[in-house]
Amino acid sequence: MAASYRPRFILRLAGATLLIAAFGLTALWIGRAPVTDAAVLQYLAAKGVDAAAKTITVERNRLVFDNVRLGPGASPDLTARRIVIDFKWSAFRPLIAGVRLDGAMLKVHADGGGVSFGSLDRLIPPDRSTRFPAFRLDAADAAVTLLTPAGTIDARVDAAGQLDRDFRATARTATVTLQWANCSATVPEAHFTITTAARDFAVAGQGHLVRSLCRGATVPTAAWTLTVAAPLPLNSLSAHASVTAPTVQAAGTTLSGLAIDAALEGPPAGLHGSWTAGLAGLIHGSDRAGPTKAGGSLKLAPGGTVHIDATVAAHAVQPATLIALLPSRVGLPTLAAKLVTRAGAALRRIDVLAHVDGDVAPGVRVRISDLKADGAGNAELRFTGRDIEWTRDTITLDGRVTVKGGGLPTIDIAGAGSANGGHGLVAIGPWRDGGDAIELTGGRFDVTAGHATTGGTLRVSSGFDGGRVDGLALPLDVAFDRQTGVAIGTGCVPIGFDRASIATTQLGATAAMLCSSRRGPLATLHGTHVAAAMTVDGLGTRGTAGGRAFAASAGRFGLRIGGTLAAPEIAVSNVDLTVVSDPWRGGARLNARAERTLSGWTGTGAISALRAVGPFGVASNGRGRWQLANGVLTLDDADVAFADPRPAPAFNPLHLTGIKGRLASQALTGRATVELANGARLATVMGFYDLAGSIGRVALLSALTFAPTLQPVDISGLARGLAANVVGGVSTIATLEIAGNKVTGAGTVQLAGVGLATAALGPVTGIDGIIAFDDLPSLHTPPHQTLHIASLDPGVAVDDVSVRFQLLDRNSVAIERLAWPFTGGTMTVEPTVLRADVPRRTFTVDVDGLDAEQFLQRFQIKNLSATGKFDGVLPLVFERSAGRIAGGVLTARDGGGLLQYVGEVGQASMGAAGRLAFDALRRLRYRTLTLRLDGDLDAEIVTAIDFTGTNEAPLQTGSRLPVRATGLPFKFGVTVRAPFRLLLGTAASFSDARAVIRSAKPVE
């Protein structure tokens, strides 16, 4: 039964009681004459009530009616097996003293028009009484049938007591299922108690609801209580109602521990009071809320309007659905990742406090005038100001929203308006956390019918995958139109940042101007479709790359954006890029097109006119094509020319061809072929580099075969004059490891049968060996590197040369052993270190066991023969480009040897001593022989020869007698001056003994 029916029901119940009393008094009045059925029925018929009574008995002070029926015969409104009316007399007037109903059945109708007893309504006096009649009413197990649009309710009623003093009635309803609109509920047995006093009455009831269903809501079970107290005229009343339900389920939401309580008072048309509601918890999908309480005032105004004023407090709200809307932190810039992380943390548990008021009927209006949400970590959202108002037609806002705390930037939004229009200001920050920062200044928005504009400047600093940007300034000049979509920017818009870094590249202040290439905004957005056509001008920056400073700029170029927000298409055209990094300067022209697909970004483009100029190289005519697909960037079929710009180039023009590169997941791989300008292949280079870890590897493979078609002079002009007619193979395998700014690596260079002609050493043949580098960038090798040289002929043929060495760095080499066999002995260079930055270098050549006879035969010295072994040392000093022998000494071993001169010597010019020396050299047994050498290798060598011995061939003693003698001692001292390269070739100094003879003299 609807609550609004209950006052009328109570009033009409009182009227029904008076009706029964009137029924008895009427019979009593008629009783002045004989009381008959016809008289009573005639009276009721006159009131328009169809009635019947089988027996009417008049006793002393009592009337008894049997088998009473009031109302249509087919569907009576009231029946009773017996009605007993006791009366008394006062001043000759009859008064009701009591009424007893036996076996009564009353039918009541309740609908939107109120409560009706059917035809019995005609017997109720129209004047509302102000007090209950002073007689007793008793009814035992009376049946009441309440007919409502929701269903029929049957009740059993027991009543006893004097109506104006101690009347009490109890009613028990039978279990019934009620249905109305889209709702239904099963109402088990309910209990009501009705009590009356002289002028007041009270109704109290309690019961349960089972399996309540209404518009998708389900209440498995609920308990309710109701109390109503009012004076009989019903000009005011007080009521209290409560409902509790352990569980309520509606639209995927589960409420637990629902409790609603309301207390009202006042006139029926203007009830007012207080109410409270509470929940133990709420679950909606993955969303949760803890204890929630609401309470405030309630007022019913004429016309059915209900006004509610309340304070709502919800605790431990966990909006998982809202948290799920936050993007994943993976791949986000560090600023966005921090904001997402802290917003998620703040939203994990929220306490909400709000002041709400509203009106219901005929429309619905809800107004929030103050709202505060406290999140975890002292995060706070606050709405203050006039209100947020919601109706069926629109939403209006007039106030300020602030967000602060929780490690989040302060956000301040102040505005007023509705869905049809409004305006306001927005400010964010300034906020900084570590290196990340955000600030919105001059933020504004204006909304009119179907149109909105925003403004302001957003500055952010953030890291991102592989780098970061600081002080990025983005103008927020945006217009929204319901018909034309979104327009971004007008005219020319400056953009820029203070600093940025990508991998090992650091950028300083960078700025550019974006200008629309057509009349209108820079970019438009229609639904999800975006379109932009603009020019980028004045793009320039300075920074460092790998620790090297550079400056870069680009001339005006075109930028076009199309596609959709989910799948944008971006194209740049004719980007003339210039880069200067002292001492290098370069540039290129770029064209590119990229789009985003379901699998990620894809794109293609071309690089042309690549150029670079530096002190050690000039790159030119570089070109290639690149492609981006599935997150992989590839470079295909690129090539570039490379040359040494110095007056004496270290290498001839080269050509890098077949350049291929691949960048995926921050891993860069590539390869290229190095060729001469004539197409001769020199080497293949392959590499890998991890941008994230700044580590990489480069491998170089080279297999050169020198022949008439390929000479060192073809690779480098510096080889001209140093080597010619080079033949043989040179293979190089090298691997470089890169870790940050450090480069290490190893490699080998193998020489196989290399032969060449040199200016200093003459023909060199059969160079074989492997040079192993353990630190290739420093040109460092382990000790004991060995090369074998089959032969060389610097004027003296040298065979089977072995050299053992170690490269110490780019400028130093340690000679561990350099030796070769020479005329029965060995020539060995003592260990030494050669340094390119030391102008003076000293070598010491040890001579061991040089055989005089083989020496003379080797150099084909005629007319002279000798035996004996020689040892010694030859110190060589090289300074700048000149070399000299400094104090070289060769000494004959103990035992000496035999020296014989068989050539001719002109005797006319010789004196007796000369002829005597000549005769001694015919066969001289020397005991000591020493050669001392000094002088410049490129000039004159002074060789001092000292030897002593005795003649073995008879000689003329100088007397007039022709006496020949042997065993005479001799001492010779000879000095020879000649260029080093001709010294050994002028062994005629020994084969033509005249100079020797002239300086010889016998030992005294």
Residue 261 and residue 278 in contact, taking contact as beta carbons nearer than 8 Å:
no
Asked if the model's pLDDT at residue 462 lies above 60, the reply is: yes
Report phi then psi at 402, rounded to 5. Answer: -125, 145
Q: Among 110-119, 141-150, 708-717, 785-794, which stretch is predicted with the lowest mean pLDDT? A: 110-119
Residue 75 and residue 49 in contact, taking contact as beta carbons nearer than 8 Å:
no
Q: Pick 847 or 39 by higher pLDDT.
A: 847
Query: Rounded to two decimals, what is the model's pTM?
Result: 0.59
Q: Pick 87 or 789 by higher pLDDT.
A: 789
799 is written with which tokens? Answer: 């065979």
The residue type found at 120 is L
Q: What is the pLDDT of residue 905?
A: 57
| Gap between the Cα atoms of 308 and 301, Å rounded | 11
Write out pLDDT tens, residues 262-307.
999 988 778 899 999 999 999 988 889 999 999 999 888 776 788 8
Please report how many Cα atoms fall inside a 13 Å half-sphere around the Cα of residue 315, on the Cβ side.
Answer: 8
Asked if the model's pLDDT at residue 77 lies above 80, the reply is: yes
Q: What is the pLDDT of residue 35?
A: 45
| Gap between the Cα atoms of 822 and 839, Å rounded | 30
Average per-residue pLDDT in the chain? 82
Report phi then psi at 30, rounded to 5. Answer: -65, -25
Report phi then psi at 783, rounded to 5. Answer: -65, 170
Report phi then psi at 147, rounded to 5. Answer: -100, 120
The residue type found at 128 is R
Quote the DSSP letter at residue 103: S
Q: Among 32-36, 755-759, 864-868, 929-933, which stretch is predicted with the lowest mean pLDDT? A: 32-36
Residue 19 and residue 51 in contact, taking contact as beta carbons nearer than 8 Å:
no
Asked if the model's pLDDT at residue 692 lies above 80, the reply is: no
Q: Pick 498 or 31 by higher pLDDT.
A: 498
What average pLDDT does this structure show over 910-928?
76
Q: Pick 1000 or 491 by higher pLDDT.
A: 491
Q: What is the pLDDT of residue 858?
A: 73
The Cβ of residue 112 has, within 10 Å, a number of other Cβ atoms equal to: 8
Q: What is the pLDDT of residue 963?
A: 52
Asked if the model's pLDDT at residue 15 lies above 70, the reply is: no
Asked if the model's pLDDT at residue 1003 lies above 70, the reply is: no
What average pLDDT does this structure show over 495-517?
85
| Gap between the Cα atoms of 512 and 557, Å rounded | 11
Please report how many Cα atoms fall inside a 13 Å half-sphere around the Cα of residue 676, on the Cβ side.
Answer: 16
Q: Strand runs (DSSP E) across 708-824, as ranges?
A: 724-739, 742-758, 762-773, 785-792, 798-809, 812-822
What average pLDDT does this structure show over 163-170?
89
Q: What is the pLDDT of residue 993?
A: 42
What single string gives the DSSP state of each residue in 251-298?
A: TTEEEEEEEEEEEEEE-GGG-EEEEEEEESEEEETTEEE--EEEEEEE
pLDDT band, very low/low/confident/very high, at 418 (cuts 50, 70, 90): confident
Q: What is the pLDDT of residue 796?
A: 63
| Gap between the Cα atoms of 319 and 351, Å rounded | 11
Work out the angle at residue 811's Cα, subtended by the Cα atoms of residues 810 and 813, and round it to the nearest 5 degrees.
95
Local structure of 320: helix, strand or coil = helix
Which residues, including other chains, have CB under 8 Å from residue 270's CB and lie 6 or more apart? 299, 300, 301, 302
Quote the DSSP letter at residue 648: S
Write out pLDDT tens, residues 850-899.
888 887 777 666 777 889 999 999 898 877 657 788 888 989 999 888 88
- Total H helices, total E strands in the chain: 10, 68
CA distances from 606 to 165, 470, 542, 594, 626 (A): 106, 30, 24, 12, 6
| Gap between the Cα atoms of 957 and 966, Å rounded | 10
Write out pLDDT tens, residues 581-633.
777 788 889 898 988 777 767 889 898 888 888 776 788 898 989 887 877 88
Q: What is the pLDDT of residue 673?
A: 92
